[in-house]
Structure 1
Amino acid sequence: MNKLKVVTIGGGSSYTPELVEGFIRRYHELPIDELWLVDIAEGKEKLAIICELCQRMVDRAGLPMKIVQTLDRREALRDASFITTQFRVGQLAAREKDERIPLSHGYLGQETNGAGGLFKGLRTIPVIVDIIKDIEEICPDAWVINFTNPAGMVTEAVYRHTHFRRFIGVCNVPVGMHRFIQDILSLGKTDHLSLDLFGLNHLVFIKDVLVNGHSRFTEVIDKVASGNFSGSTVKNIFSLPFAGSLIRGLNLLPCSYLLYYFKHKEMLAIELGEYYKGEVRAQAVQKLERQLFKIYQDPTLAVKPAELEARGGAYYSDAACEVINAIYNDKQSEHYINLPHNGHVENIPDDWVVEMTFLLGRNGGTPHPRLTRFDDKTMGLIHTIKGFEIAAARAALNGNLNDLLLALNLNPLVNSDSDAELLAREMLLAHQSYLPQFADAIATFTATREA
Structure 2
Amino acid sequence: MKKSSVVIAGGGSTFTPGIVLMLLEHLERFPIRQIKFYDNDAKRQEIIGKACEILLKERAPEITFSYTTDPEKAFTDVDFVMAHIRVGKYAMREQDEKIPMRYNVLGQETCGPGGIAYGMRSIGPIIEIIDFMEKYSPDAWMLNYSNPAAIVAEATRRLRPTSRIINICDMPVGIEDRMAGILGLKSRKEMQVKYYGLNHFGWWSDIRDQAGHDLMPRLKEHVAKHGYIVRPEAEQETEPSWNDTFAKAKDVYAVEPDTLPNTYLKYYLFPDYIVKHTDPNHSRANEVMEHREKNVFAAARAVIEKGTAKDCRFTADDHASYIVDLADAIASNTKARMLLIVENGGSIENFDPTAMVEIPCIVGSDGYEKVCIGRIPRFQKGLMEQQVAVEKLVVEAWINGSYQKLWQALTLSKTVPSAAVAKQILDDLMIANQSYWPELK
Q: TM-score, structure 2 length as denominator?
A: 0.91
How far did 1:316 drift?
2.7
Shift of 1:63: 4.6
Give matches, 1:301-320, under 5 Å. Answer: 301-302=309-310, 305=313, 314-320=317-323
1:47 aligned partner = 45
**Deviation of 1:305 (Å):** 3.0
Structure 1 residues 63 and 322, CA gap change in structure 2 (3 angstroms): farther
Tell me, which stretches of 5 or more residues in structure 2 are unaligned?
231-235
Contact 2:9-2:85 at 8 Å conserved across structures:
yes
Q: What is the aligned partner in structure 2 of residue 293 from structure 1?
A: 297
In structure 2, relative to structure 1, the CA distance for the partners of 1:228 and 1:127 (3 Å cut) is closer
Query: Structure 1 pair 256/244, CA: closer, same or farther in 2 (3 Å)?
Result: closer
- Structure 2 contact 105–271 (Cα < 8 Å) conserved: no
Measured in 2, the distance between the counterparts of 1:114 and 1:245 equals 17
Structure 2 residue 362 is matched with structure 1 residue 354:
no
1:444 corresponding residue in structure 2: none
How far did 1:423 drift?
Answer: 1.1
Once residues 334 and 120 of structure 2 are traced to their aligned partners in structure 1, the CA distance between those partners, rounded to angstroms, is: 35
Measure, in 2, the Cα distance between the counterparts of 1:248 and 1:154. 29
Structure 1 partner of 2:133? 135
Query: Aligned partners of 1:281 and 1:44: how far apart in 2?
Result: 26
Over 3 Å counting, the alpha-carbon distance change for 1:63 and 1:215 in structure 2 is farther
Residues 379-418 of structure 1: CA deviation (Å, up to 9, x unaligned): 1111111010111111122221111111111111112111
Aligned twin of 2:393: 391
Shift of 1:91: 1.0
Q: Measured at CA, do residues 121 and 56 of structure 1 come closer, stay the same or move farther in structure 2, by a change above 3 Å? A: same
User: Which of 87, 90, 95 in structure 2 is aligned with 1:92?
Assistant: 90
CA distance in 2, matches of 1:264, 1:189: 33
Matched to 2:35, the amino acid is: L
CA 324–303 in structure 1, closer or farther in 2 if over 3 Å, else same:
farther
Out of 113, 118, 121, the residue aligned to residue 119 of structure 2 is: 121
AA aligned opposite 2:214: S
Name the CA shift for 1:364/1:16 in 2 (closer, same or farther; >3 Å).
same
Calculate the aligned-residue CA RMSD, in Å: 2.4
Deviation at 1:228, TM superposition (A): 5.2
Residue 250 of structure 1: aligned partner: 257
The structural deviation recorded for 1:230 is: 4.0
Q: Which residue of 2 aligns with 1:270?
A: 277
**1-side partners of 2:355 and 2:237: how far apart?**
26
Q: Is the 8 A contact 1:359 1:365 kept in 2?
A: yes
CA deviation after TM superposition for structure 1 residue 302, in Å = 4.5
**Which residue of structure 2 lines up, in the alignment, with residue 260 of structure 1?**
267
Residue 3 of structure 1, CA deviation: 5.6
CA shift digits 1:397-446 (9 cap, x unpaired): 222111111111111111211111111111111111112x21x54xxxxx
Aligned-partner Cα distance in 2 for 1:228–1:156: 31
Change (3 A) 1:403 1:303: farther
Tell me the distance in 2 between the aligned counterparts of 1:220 and 1:142. 39
How far 1:44 moved relative to its partner? 1.8
Cα drift, residue 191 of structure 1: 7.2
1-structure distance, mates of 2:238, 2:263:
7
Shift of 1:248: 7.6
Contact conserved, 1:146 with 1:167, CA < 8 A, in 2?
Answer: yes
Aligned to 2:226: 227
Offset at residue 83 of structure 1 (A): 0.5
The 2-side partners of 1:429 and 1:91 are apart by: 17
* 8 Å contact from structure 1 (residues 337, 358) kept in 2: yes
218 and 368 in structure 1: CA distance in 2 versus 1, 3 angstrom threshold? same
Question: Runs ≥4 in structure 1, deviation > 6 angstroms?
Answer: 231-234
Contact 2:7 2:38 in 1 (8 A): yes
Alignment of 1:10-25 (within 5 A): 10-25=10-25
Cα deviation 1:18-68 (Å, max 9, x = unaligned): 11111111111212111110111xx22221221222223323323511111
Letter of the 2:131 partner, please give it.
Answer: K
Separation in 2 of the partners of 1:254 and 1:13? 29
Residue type of the alignment partner of 1:210: R
Inter-CA distance 261–132: structure 2 relative to 1 (3 Å threshold): same
CA distance in 1, matches of 2:321, 2:21: 8
Q: Kindly state the Cα deviation for residue 358 of structure 1 after the two structures are TM-superposed.
A: 1.4
> TM-score scaled to structure 1, two decimals?
0.89
SS in 1 for 2:348: coil
In the other structure, the counterpart of 1:280 is 283
Instruction: Give runs of aligned pairs for residues 338-353 of structure 1, distance below 5 A.
Output: 338-353=341-356
Aligned residues: 427
Rounded to whole Å, the distance in 1 between the matches of 2:166 and 2:313 is 28
**Deviation digits for residues 84-141 of structure 1 (CA, Å, limit 9, x no counterpart):** 1111111110001101110011110111011110000000001111222222322222
Where does residue 370 of structure 2 map in the other structure?
367
- Does structure 1 conserve the Cα–Cα contact (< 8 Å) formed by 2:4 and 2:31? yes
